[in-house]
């Protein structure tokens, strides 16, 4: 295994203990409210209306899977290389009697059969862990049945450059939009290597894998705000996330 990926995997196994420690909180949260953002639901609702089989790449704590099923998915199959994350997600889905299944697998080699997904759902801190975006996009295409969709809701590639200052946003001078990677210096994956992909690189990889892009939207809201932090960068002036919908011909 690539040593950087091996290190990232070790960091994620450790970081995913959070899903075990906070198991009950996440369960309560999942019961109380949807974790899907309004901008996600706007695009996903029409797709979920046809009861798709969803494959969720890098499913993490899996709370989104519970909401995808609640919103209409026939089932959701999560893939994550963290055994801890997959086990915690499986336990929660079983406890809530929701049709979710979790498999441990290291992307881009998803241990699932070709064309098994009507919808591939991913994001919220997923692509930064993929060292080879073309290989990732090829896996998405392989998993999708013809006419199936990819929905990606991801941190905007400008995000690594925003500071978390409260008074005004500043640009981090130790980062570049065009850098290949940087070290994660925040919770929960501190110490891991994040790859950076520009919006152009993501779009080009998706097109290169044979998918047709239906829409790309940039959003001001971050998908995640650490507790107690109120950064000026999140007040609506700057892009913090984007969503992408693509379809396999
Ligand atoms: C920030 S989390 C996002 C997960 C999910 N979207 C969520 O909201 O919980 C990133 C996840 O990617 C997983 N991951 C990172 N690299 C991976 C790889 N090469 N193959 C499979 N999973 C990976 C980690 O274990 C982690 O659960």
**pLDDT at residue 101 is higher than 80:** yes
pLDDT at 187: 67
CATH number at residue 239: 3.40.50.150
Can you tell me the distance from the alpha carbon of 84 to that of 90, in angstroms, rounded to the nearest whole number?
10
- Whether 29 is in the pocket of ligand 1, judged by its Cβ within 6 Å, is no
Report the chain's mean pLDDT, rounded to a whole number.
95
- Which of 224, 248, 245 minimizes the C-alpha distance to 121? 245
Q: For a ligand 1 pocket test, name from 60, 132, 139, 188 the mutation site with the most ligand atoms within 8 angstroms of its C-beta.
A: 60
Atom of ligand 1 nearest to the CA of 5: 19
Q: Look up the domain containing 209 and give its range.
A: 3-247
Q: For a ligand 1 pocket test, name from 80, 107, 112, 143 the mutation site with the most ligand atoms within 8 angstroms of its C-beta.
A: 80
Is residue 245 a contact partner of residue 150, using CB atoms and an 8 Å limit? yes
pLDDT at 1: 76
pLDDT at 192: 83
pLDDT at 226: 84
pLDDT, tens digit (0-9, with 9 covering 90-100), for 35-56: 999 999 999 999 999 999 999 9
Average pLDDT over residues 86-91: 96
- Whether 81 is in the pocket of ligand 1, judged by its Cβ within 6 Å, is yes
**pLDDT at residue 78 is higher than 80:** yes
| Residue 233 dihedral angles phi and psi, to the nearest 5° | -65, -15
Number of domains the chain is built from: 1
- Residue 181 CB: number of other CB atoms within 10 A? 13
Average pLDDT over residues 116-132: 97
Can you tell me the distance from the alpha carbon of 47 to that of 26, in angstroms, rounded to the nearest whole number?
26
pLDDT, tens digit (0-9, with 9 covering 90-100), for 208-228: 999 999 999 999 999 988 888
For residues 27 and 237, the model is more confident at 237
**pLDDT at residue 167 is higher than 80:** yes
Can you tell me the distance from the alpha carbon of 221 to that of 237, in angstroms, rounded to the nearest whole number?
10
Q: Is 167 exposed, middle or buried (0-12, 13-18, 19+ CB in 10 A)?
A: exposed
- Whether 107 is in the pocket of ligand 1, judged by its Cβ within 6 Å, is yes
Confidence of residue 188 (pLDDT cuts 50, 70, 90): low
3-state secondary structure the chain: CCHHHHHHHHHHHHHCHHHHHCHHHHHHHHHHCCCCCHHHHHHHHHHHCCCCEEEEECCCCCHHHHHHHHCCCCEEEEEECCHHHHHHHHHHHHHCCCCEEEEECCCCCCCCCCCCEEEEEEECCCHHHCCCHHHHHHHHHHHEEEEEEEEEEEECCCHHHECCCCCCCCECCCCCCCCCEEECCCCCCCCCEEECCCHHHHHHHHHHCCCEEEEEEEECCCCCCCCCCCCHHHCCCCCCEEEEEEECC
Tell the residue nearest (CA) to atom 27 of ligand 1.
60
Contacts of 228 (CB under 8 A, 6+ apart): none
Confidence of residue 77 (pLDDT cuts 50, 70, 90): very high
**pLDDT at residue 120 is higher than 90:** yes
| Percentage of the chain exceeding pLDDT 90 | 83
């Amino acid at each position: 295994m690539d040593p950087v990926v091996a290190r990232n995997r070790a960091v994620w196994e450790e970081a995913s203990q959070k899903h075990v420690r906070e198991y009950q909180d996440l369960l309560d949260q999942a019961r109380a409210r949807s974790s899907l953002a309004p901008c996600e639901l706007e695009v996903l609702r029409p797709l979920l209306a046809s009861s798709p089989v969803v494959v969720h790449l890098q499913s993490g704590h899996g709370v989104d899977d519970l909401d995808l099923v609640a919103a209409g998915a026939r089932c959701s199959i999560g893939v994550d290389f963290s055994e801890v994350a997959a086990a915690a997600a499986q336990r929660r889905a079983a406890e809530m009697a929701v049709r979710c299944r979790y498999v441990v697998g290291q992307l881009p080699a998803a241990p699932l059969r070709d064309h098994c997904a009507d919808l591939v759902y991913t994001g919220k801190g997923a692509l930064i862990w993929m060292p080879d975006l073309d290989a990732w996009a090829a896996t998405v295409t392989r998993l999708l049945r013809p006419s199936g969709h990819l929905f990606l809701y991801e941190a905007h590639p400008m995000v690594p450059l925003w500071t978390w200052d409260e008074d005004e946003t500043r640009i981090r001078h130790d980062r570049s939009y065009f850098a290949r990677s940087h070290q994660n210096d925040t919770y929960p994956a501190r110490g891991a290597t994040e790859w950076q992909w520009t919006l152009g690189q993501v779009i080009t990889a998706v097109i290169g894998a044979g998918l047709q892009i239906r829409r790309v939207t940039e959003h001001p809201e971050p998908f995640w705000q650490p507790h107690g932090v109120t950064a000026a960068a999140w007040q609506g002036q700057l892009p913090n996330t984007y969503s992408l919908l693509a379809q396999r011909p």
